Amino acid sequence: MTPSPLPSATLSTRSEAAAEVLAEGAWPVPGDPELPVPLAGFAVSSFSPMASAAADRCLEQVHGAPGAVEPGGGPAGPGEEERVRRAGRTAIVLASRGGDLETHTATAVAVDAGRPAAPLLFFQSVPNAVVGHIAKRWGLRGPVICFSPDAAGADPLGEALDVARFLANGGDADEALLLLVEQVGPDGASASARALLVRSVPDASPDGSSDASSDASPDAGEAS
């Protein structure tokens, strides 16, 4: 595992200031191959393997190894009870502007050619599929939410943090794994996935207008 740098330098915006980042992972990082390791049950597209790889790199910093937080999954070790409790209160929030473009394109090509699309592509055409895989792999049992930002200029991380904060304020989760996955980045940038495990600061205002405003940097953007 190659840990990615923690994003402390990026947490000065108004929205992000209301959350504590516990761990972060990404795909790719320097030294990674062109494509992540294929994910069993998924085909054609790099979207799900990238999301899973970033999530693994993030979660293993807190939860150890995959499966370590499964209730009754093995002998109790130091800290296992606490890891199980935390996993049971951890939500997953996936944000993507474009979604799984490779799967959608492969399906469209097949339909345009008059051929049936591969059944497996229907399964993975929604991000919920890989989010379910990650939840099972790590024993996370909080709410699961996938969405696209409201507008082209919206901030996916800011909106994901807003969702995490709503879940925390509503008592549905204590922590959230945020996944930001794009197969085509802004200005044609390379595909990438970023995962952050966050804990919302108690009593933070859902609209980001709380006391955190005093921490906002001059270039801070408003989360929608």
pLDDT, tens digit, for every residue of 88-135? 999 999 999 888 888 888 888 888 899 888 878 887 778 889 999 999
Distance of alpha carbon 43 from alpha carbon 122, whole angstroms: 11
- Calculate helix-pair angle for 101-112, 47-63, nearest 10 degrees: 160
Instruction: Give the confidence band of 162 by pLDDT, cuts at 50, 70, 90.
Output: very high
Q: What is the mean pLDDT of residues 143-149?
A: 93
Per-residue buried b or exposed e for 144-182, using 16+ beta carbons within 10 Å of the residue's own CB: bbbeebeeeebbbbbbbbbbbbbbbeeeebbbbbbbbbb
Sheet with 90-95: list strands edge to edge. 19-27, 192-200, 175-182, 90-95, 144-147
Mean pLDDT check: name the lowest of 19-33, 53-67, 182-196: 182-196
The 10s digit of each residue's pLDDT in 10-45 is 443 445 457 899 999 999 999 999 888 888 888 889
Max mean pLDDT among 1-5, 77-81, 191-195, 210-214 falls in 191-195
Residue 4 CA from chain centroid, whole number: 15
57 pLDDT higher than 80: yes
Amino acid, single-letter form, for residue 101: L
The 10s digit of each residue's pLDDT in 165-182 is 999 999 999 999 999 999
Q: What is the mean pLDDT of residues 49-54?
A: 96
Q: Taking all residues of the chain, what is their mean pLDDT, rounded to a whole number?
A: 79
What pLDDT is recorded for position 22?
96
What pLDDT is recorded for position 105?
87
What pLDDT is recorded for position 96?
93
Closest CA to 196 of 159, 220, 162, 161: 161
Q: What is the mean pLDDT of residues 191-206?
A: 79
